[in-house]
Amino acid sequence: MKHALITAGTKGLGKKAVEAFLSKGYSVTATYRSDLSAAESLREEFSHHQDRLLLLQGDVTVKKDLEHFIEASMNTFGRLDCLVNNAGPYIFERKKLADYSDEEWYSMIEGNLSAVFHLFKKAVPIMREQQFGRLITYGFQDAGNAPGWLNRSAFSAAKAGLVSLTKTIAYEEAENGITANMVCPGNIMGDMKEADIVTARNQYDPDTPIGRSGTGEDIARIITFLCEDQSDFITGAIIDANGGADVLRRRAEK
């Protein structure tokens, strides 16, 4: 039985990824930072998979917590096949770079960039021994082109750095059967993070060419596909999932 570790997996996009991996027969470790009620709700919802689901509390900005995630997963399930870096701190207040505190800056960098480094450092010996591994990171729309992002400077800087890190891992670890890819969700808001595609199709969205919002299911489907054995030819890819919104923007600029 293959195993997936998903950070911030008890709600939002992470929860849909947990659901997708469980439905495909994986065992899953899902981490959470502080929302105990969400964790208990997830445990109850998937109680029929209790032998394949491990919930761990910890903070992705704390190295020892990240190391514990890997160690506890291995102690419980004995292998680690997919590392899904869903967690990523985000500051909702819109502010210019000059107005960020040191604490806010380092929280964005540690949680969105350094966390992937620490998790992968701990996971790579396991994946190399298995001669199999799948690393998934998350970006933002068009992150592969490293655009500036007004009032989101620290978050975007970390994610743009993560683009390069993801590609580098893909190159360096290809010989070990390890792939690394980034998924960049479009504007998926509120309840749509845990919604399915059928629900989205029943709600018109004028902001995307396809006419519907993205959902957590859209992102989970991409991730599970990238983690399949037969997806080994896809590595170092930065995949935008935005309903064509970015294509529309690019055309408007020409």
Q: Give the pLDDT confidence of 88-145 residue by residue, as tens digits.
A: 999 999 999 999 999 999 999 999 999 999 999 999 999 999 999 999 999 998 899 8
pLDDT at 242 over 70: yes
Per-position DSSP letters for 113-163, written without gaps between them: IIHHHHHHHHHHHHHHHHT-EEEEEE--TTGGG----TT-HHHHHHHHHHH
Instruction: Specify the CATH number for the domain of residue 180.
Output: 3.40.50.720
Q: Exposed (0-12), middle (13-18) or buried (19+): which is 130, by Cβ within 10 Å?
A: middle
Tell me if the pTM is above 0.85: yes
Tokens standing for residue 187: 């504007």
Q: Which domain holds residue 47?
A: 3-253
Tokens standing for residue 11: 């709600």
Q: What is the pLDDT of residues 149-206, one digit of tens each?
A: 899 999 999 999 999 999 999 999 999 999 999 999 998 999 999 999 999 999 999 8
Number of domains in the chain: 1
C-beta pairs of 90-95 under 8 Å, 24+ apart in sequence: 90/155, 91/152, 91/154, 91/155, 94/151, 94/152, 95/151
**Phi-psi region at 142: left, alpha or beta (left = phi > 0; alpha = psi -120 to 50):** left
